[in-house]
Structure 1
Amino acid sequence: MRAKLTTLSARNFEPADQAYEIVDTELKGFLMRVQPTGLKTFYYSYRNSDGRRKRIKIGPLGPSLTLAQARDKATSMAGKVADGTDVQADKVEGRQRAKETLKGTLGRFLEEQYQPWALANHKSGQNTINIVKASFPDLLTLPMSQIQLKRMERWRTEKMQQDRKATYVNRCVNALRGVITKAVEWEVLEEHPLKRLKNLKVDEGRKARYLSSDEEFRMLAALKERDDELKKARTRGNEHRAERGYPLLPDISHLAYADRMTPMVTLSLKTGMRRGEQFDLMWSEVDLINNVITVNGATAKSSKTRHIPLSPSAREVLGKWRGQCGLNEARVFPADDGGRLDNVKSSWTTILKKAGITQFRWHDMRHDFASKLVMRGVPLNTVRELCGHASLNTTLRYAHLAPDHKADAVALIG
């Protein structure tokens, strides 16, 4: 049977006495097989380079696989076939390699099987690997079949007794869960040993940390004071060098900023950019004429490109910073060696101490940006777009800051 597979039609196809197939008319090779039991399974059918007809199982229709997801996977397979890849043979070969690897331990599986795939397919792949290795060192020497639910429940209990936050515990467990999920998908494990393990409950309505007016004033003052101190220190250092005949370091007394920290902090407060997005930001993505920054999807956490207008203060700071950077500099905030910056912890700690601000992380500047937009009446969906949140649920944590929205709602019922 040939028909266009849609969410509605896929759900409405009824089982018959014998299994039958519906071949999609929109994507060549994409089909759904309906068993007499009612099970509906998606496949992708193709011809390899030898002209032999093959098919590869995508998975059964259900909560974990929608029609749209199955179609996306089939489309990806079609692209590989067009490039000359025999996807079925590739899957069998990969499965066999994974099985051989799993004769060893979780550590070997991570290094030899999961890591190459994760680094090629996920921006956070290395982070996941690091979390698993740091959080579960005792599991690395165990076969994955021995990672059981009871063991993980005991690990969680120990961490909670150590006063670790539920968000931290969930993050660690979910990293391990993701690794095991790939083993199940590659059919090297028959079932997921942690499938019944639910995340610890987290208060999603917790208060977002943002700066008060006084704290923001102290932050900006601390940045100015720090710039002045660094410039004076450079001048004193050069005087010392001159007296001893040493080569002088570049004079920074006439520059707007002593280093990258004031522009970076200002940009964080006024655009809500993530720290990693700033580390990856290129001057080609900064439009000082139209006052907009483009966060490239290739470096964004959500993998989606977004455009952030520059406020007057952010435009002024970036303009001055551009003026003192070399015109041949590609990165907006390069490391001292010209490469990608990866750490500002020491400087950030010094700034917070100088400003007298406590319990405020770098990422909280992003919360500050979102919170103050909401408090000024900006619609939540606009805040979501500016921050690059993948889901509106993430933005809803700031909803309580909207001016009088709850009072107005209750007033409607008199």
Structure 2
Amino acid sequence: MHTWNDATSLWLIEMDHKRTIDHDRRKLEWLKPLLGHKRLADIDRFVIADIGKLKAEQASPATANRYLALIRAIMRRAVFEWEWLAKPPKVRLYKEPSRRVRWLTPDQVRTLLDELLPHQRDACLFALATGLRHSNVTGLRWEQVDFRRKTAWLYADQTKNNEDLHVSLNDTALDVLKRRQGKHAEYVFTYRNRPIKRFTTRAWYKALERAQITNFRWHDLRHTWASWLVQEGVPLYSLQEMGGWKTAIMVRRYAHLSPSVNLENARKIDAVLNKMPDDL
């Protein structure tokens, strides 16, 4: 009979092309002591529910869902691809709250920038200027930057929606890039001549603390970028294209931040009604 270890070994081989395969490996390492040599036939919905409960208590329901989803995917593959099982067990995910939108005011950003180390300040400012995700900032290479056209581009395997993304570089982004020139031959953002793998170090959290900014992640810089653009009247469809979102669902969460634009559009009905006879 096939075991969980058999399934995970084959999963890692077949899914090696996934951008998030390293995330899978880390989750599977955590799951190994719990499932280990269990036969797949013995992994039922009760076993899986207990694992989900444990992870939810250790972290959060949202985190538990990521683990439960991986178990579900592997068990379904054992049924429909490998034909090791007759049917997959039911996996019930936790209900998650709507994704939050946490953003900073310009004054808060100025305070934070004053507290950051120079290399972190440049990266933070670049993220605010472009809306790029953490991995896209850390992985940015000079070959992806075109100063003459004021553009940068991300390859499909670097984006969340697996499509090439064209990034227009405003003056703020260009100023950051010009400051970074000559510091490293290949990567834009480096520290002590080495590419930066993550900006969320102790120095980042200490800077947030000194700036008195709470409940804020690096990814919220992207929320801040999007929120500011919408408040300045940028249409949601333009924001979707600029941010590389594949669907409008994720962009609509910023819609409430543009009341003045909506009011302007709503007033266009006034013009139509004013042309109608007074006795209506």
TM range (shorter): 0.7 to 0.9
**1:205-244 matches, cutoff 5 A:** 206-223=99-116, 226-227=117-118
Q: Secondary structure at the match of 2:28?
A: helix
Q: Secondary structure at the match of 1:293?
A: strand
Alpha-carbon distance between aligned partners in 2 of 1:104 and 1:335, rounded to the nearest angstrom: 47
State the Cα distance separating 1:316 from its structure 2 match: 0.7
* Residue 370, structure 1, aligned to residue 226, structure 2: yes
| 1:384 corresponding residue in structure 2 | 240
* TM-score, normalised by the number of residues in structure 1: 0.59
Alpha-carbon distance between aligned partners in 1 of 2:265 and 2:28, rounded to the nearest angstrom: 45
Contact 1:118-1:126 at 8 Å conserved across structures: no
Distance 1:150 1:378, change over 3 A: same
Decide which of 87, 104, 117 is 2:14's aligned counterpart: 117
Distance 1:135 1:349, change over 3 A: farther
* Residue 179, structure 1, aligned to residue 74, structure 2: yes
Alpha-carbon distance between aligned partners in 1 of 2:205 and 2:215, rounded to the nearest angstrom: 11
State the Cα distance separating 1:159 from its structure 2 match: 4.7
Identity of matched residues, %: 25
Alpha-carbon distance between aligned partners in 2 of 1:211 and 1:267, rounded to the nearest angstrom: 15
Distance 1:375 1:207, change over 3 A: farther
Paired letter, 1:293: A
Alpha-carbon distance between aligned partners in 1 of 2:51 and 2:263, rounded to the nearest angstrom: 44
**1:6-405 matches, cutoff 5 A:** 103-110=1-8, 112-119=9-16, 121-135=17-31, 137-160=33-56, 162=57, 164-184=59-79, 185-194=81-90, 197-204=91-98, 206-223=99-116, 226-227=117-118, 260-322=119-181, 324-326=182-184, 329-334=185-190, 336=192, 338=194, 341-346=196-201, 347-404=203-260
Alpha-carbon distance between aligned partners in 1 of 2:146 and 2:55, rounded to the nearest angstrom: 47
State the Cα distance separating 1:361 from its structure 2 match: 0.7
Alpha-carbon distance between aligned partners in 2 of 1:106 and 1:149, rounded to the nearest angstrom: 15
Distance 1:146 1:271, change over 3 A: same
Paired letter, 2:199: V
Alpha-carbon distance between aligned partners in 2 of 1:104 and 1:318, rounded to the nearest angstrom: 53
Alpha-carbon distance between aligned partners in 2 of 1:378 and 1:147, rounded to the nearest angstrom: 50
Q: CA RMSD in A?
A: 2.7
Q: Which consecutive unaligned segments of at least 5 residues does structure 1 have?
A: 1-102, 228-259
Contact 2:183-2:190 at 8 Å conserved across structures: no
Alpha-carbon distance between aligned partners in 2 of 1:384 and 1:213, rounded to the nearest angstrom: 22
Q: Secondary structure at the match of 2:250?
A: helix
State the Cα distance separating 1:291 from its structure 2 match: 1.4
| 1:14 corresponding residue in structure 2 | none
Higher strand fraction: Structure 1 or Structure 2? 1
Q: Max radius of gyration: which structure?
A: 1
Alpha-carbon distance between aligned partners in 2 of 1:408 and 1:155, rounded to the nearest angstrom: 52
| 2:278 corresponding residue in structure 1 | none
Alpha-carbon distance between aligned partners in 1 of 2:177 and 2:231, rounded to the nearest angstrom: 26
Distance 1:117 1:127, change over 3 A: same
Q: Secondary structure at the match of 1:266?
A: helix
Q: Which consecutive unaligned segments of at least 5 residues does structure 2 have?
A: 274-280
**How many residue pairs are counted as aligned between the two chains?**
268
Distance 1:352 1:153, change over 3 A: same
Alpha-carbon distance between aligned partners in 2 of 1:151 and 1:409, rounded to the nearest angstrom: 54
